[in-house]
């Protein structure tokens, strides 16, 4: 089956590599990283809600629900 892409992603691999490098050098837990907090804040603002929590798996999300 042939696939037709709706769009081609624009990825600047140099920037992506730099960001991943900074992330892994800081050795954070994925849910305790500054960028995670920034994403949570953007999601809260977008949805117009007071709380947003990023979790590492579905089991934790179901426990919080």
Q: Would you state the structure tokens that stand for residue 1, as one six-digit string?
A: 């089956």
| CA–CA separation, 62 and 65 (whole Å) | 5
Q: Is residue 37 part of a domain?
A: yes
What's the structural domain count of the chain?
1
pLDDT at position 46 over 90: yes
Q: Is residue 13 part of a domain?
A: no
Q: Is residue 3 part of a domain?
A: no
Give the domain range for residue 58: 30-65
- Mean pLDDT (whole number) for 35-61: 90
Q: Is residue 5 part of a domain?
A: no
Q: Is residue 1 part of a domain?
A: no
- Let me know: does 55 contact 31? Beta carbons within 8 Å: yes
- Mean pLDDT (whole number) for 24-49: 83
Q: Is residue 19 part of a domain?
A: no
Instruction: List pLDDT tens digits, range 25-36.
Output: 877 666 677 778
Q: Would you state the structure tokens that stand for residue 51, as one six-digit string?
A: 């709380």
- Mean pLDDT (whole number) for 6-21: 83
- Let me know: does 33 contact 23? Beta carbons within 8 Å: yes
């Amino acid at each position: 089956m042939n696939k037709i892409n709706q769009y081609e992603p624009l990825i600047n691999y140099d920037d992506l590599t730099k960001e991943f490098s900074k992330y892994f050098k800081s050795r954070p837990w994925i849910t305790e990283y500054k960028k995670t907090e920034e994403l949570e804040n953007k999601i809260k603002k977008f949805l117009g809600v007071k709380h947003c929590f990023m979790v590492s798996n579905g089991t934790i999300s179901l426990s919080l629900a």
